[in-house]
Amino acid sequence: MNQNKIMELVKDNDYLKNKLFFKGFILTDDLGIDGSGYPFFGNWIVTSIGSRYVLSVHPNQTFHVKTFGNDLTIGLVGHAYSPTDGAVDETSILDDLSQKYFERKQFFDVVNQLTGCFFLFVAGRDKVEFLSDALGLYSVFYAGLRDHIYITAHSNLLGDLLGLNEMPFVTKLKTCKTFKYFGNQLPGNITRFAEVWRLNPNHYGTTEGGKVRQLRFYWPHSLDMSSEEICSELIGLLQKTADAISKKWNRPALSLTGGCDSKTFLACVSHRYEDFLYFSYDSQPNELPDAQAAASICKALGIPHIFYKIPYEDEAFEQIEGVKDVLLWNGGDVRYNNPNDVRKRIYLDHVHDFDVEIKSWASEVGRARYTKRYNGRRRFGKKPTPRKCTTFYKFLFFNRVLVNRCDRVFKEYLEKFFEQDKERPIPWQDQFYWEWHWPSRDGVNLTCEQIYSNDITVPYNNRRVLELLLSACEEDRINDVIYTKIRDRLDRRIDQASMTVVDVNHTNKRAILEDLYYIFNRLLPY
């Protein structure tokens, strides 16, 4: 795939032209960018930010800006709301943040209360400070190049505008036969281009002299709370989240499966079932049990359930090859999409039953995923090492050159960006899962594929919610005890109607094999 092919593909196709870098943005002090040409085609909304910067936003994306102080502008691209104080309007949130900007602790306290998928920035005469949501589910990439700064939701947007070349290491990595295993992401916070980097969660970027630095503003930490206290506070927060969603959108719909995460949030909307829609889909055979479980739950609760049967054949969809290419390019020419996911995106793009999808991602951060992945392993050592991170990242056992190159990338990542709380740290593998796995894989997935069809909000994408989940004892996290307690307290019919559907990709045999790989790969000296 290359830029010329994409330009040729979209130039006379208005549908694909609109889907290129869909719901993206770029904030820059390079005032010479031509907004009438590729990839904007004169369609993006251009806003001057002070006298020095320009914000360009895709016409299907929402954004808000406010001027305050001495030539300062605060802006938010995407959506945010606060279950803590009930704020659901971005304008009021920006008002609050602008009043507290000069009191740094208070400013970040407000940021830490937010749920949503967003890019937040404050721009002045001399610098820009910027950050993303708790898990980086709305991706943010940046470059300081040629005395200018560039910040965007799509790394390939910068590659196209600036004529950047893919690093040979990335080319070798993504064409490796085993690259498709464990997710199509890159190690550390690198991109295809040596000049472009991904912003890490719990960090903010700051610009100075045409350069960009990342600084940590939040250290995930465990909370000294009992299981019952955790459960009670989670119920309160998630119910307030449901209240905020029902106020913010007219027709919110919960994407429901038979899995632990969506069933638990379903319980948290039990006080207002009538304010939400509930849907499932079947785009490949292994999704059908989830959809059937969801239908059984909704029937038991007496609430309507929408079932979308998505054709299994590519031939059922027009210009699907073009959509595949655009999705690939949006994802940085790295995130290859499964065929059923492409069909799903096209199908749901023509569904208008709801105005936001409630996706129960992110709670996996608190569910001891690496322990489950590696056959119940509970010992990962006290500190991360580059080799452990590489082992988590990819199956590269027979390509030691790539292993060592990934080791070097993770070494730099750990030295620059990985820092644990000094007094009450969470296990390092859980913090790594939060700060690396989710933004590098699922954040890019949401930004570059999921929101192709509809707006998405993620109720668990909140720092307090994540830390509450992570503060349960290890045994409870392994066995999803907190989730079961929440459902038991709020609506027992949910579990009575259907057994929890287990992820078919995480079999016992696979867990054993991955644990063996973890043991041997991290011990090899090269």
Whether the CB-CB separation of 152 and 141 falls below 8 Å is answered with: yes
Report DSSP letters for 416-481, one per residue: HH----SSSBPPHHHHHIIIIIIIIIIIHHHHHTGGGTS-EE-TT-SHHHHHHHHTS-HHHHHTTH
* Dihedral pair phi/psi, residue 131, rounded to 5°: -155, 175
Tens of pLDDT, residue by residue, the chain (526 residues): 799 999 999 999 999 999 999 999 999 999 999 999 999 999 999 999 998 999 999 999 999 999 998 889 999 999 999 999 999 999 999 999 999 999 999 999 999 999 999 999 999 988 999 999 999 999 999 999 989 999 999 999 999 999 999 999 999 999 999 998 888 899 999 999 999 999 999 999 999 888 999 999 999 999 999 999 999 999 999 999 999 999 999 999 999 999 999 999 999 999 999 999 999 999 999 899 999 999 999 999 999 999 999 999 999 999 999 999 999 999 999 977 889 999 999 999 999 999 999 999 999 999 999 999 998 899 999 999 999 999 999 999 889 999 999 999 999 999 999 999 999 999 999 999 999 999 999 999 999 999 999 999 999 999 999 999 999 999 999 999 999 999 999 999 999 997 766 554 556 788 888 888 888 787 787 7
What is the distance of C-alpha 390 from the center of its chain? 21
41: tokens are: 């085609």
What counts of helices (H) and strands (E) characterise the chain?
Answer: 21, 17
Q: Residue 251 to residues 32, 165, 218, 282, 353: CA-CA distances in angstroms?
A: 41, 43, 34, 22, 8
What are the residue ranges of CATH 3.40.50.620 in the chain? Answer: 227-365+454-511
Cis peptide before 39 (omega within 30 of 0): yes
The CATH architecture annotation of domain 3-216 reads 4-Layer Sandwich (3.60)
0.75 surpassed by pTM: yes
What are the residue ranges of CATH 3.60.20.10 in the chain? Answer: 3-216
Query: In one letter, which amino acid is 402?
Result: L
Whether the CB-CB separation of 2 and 8 falls below 8 Å is answered with: no
Candidate CATH numbers 3.40.190.10, 3.30.70.100, 3.40.390.30, 3.40.50.620; the one for domain 227-365+454-511: 3.40.50.620
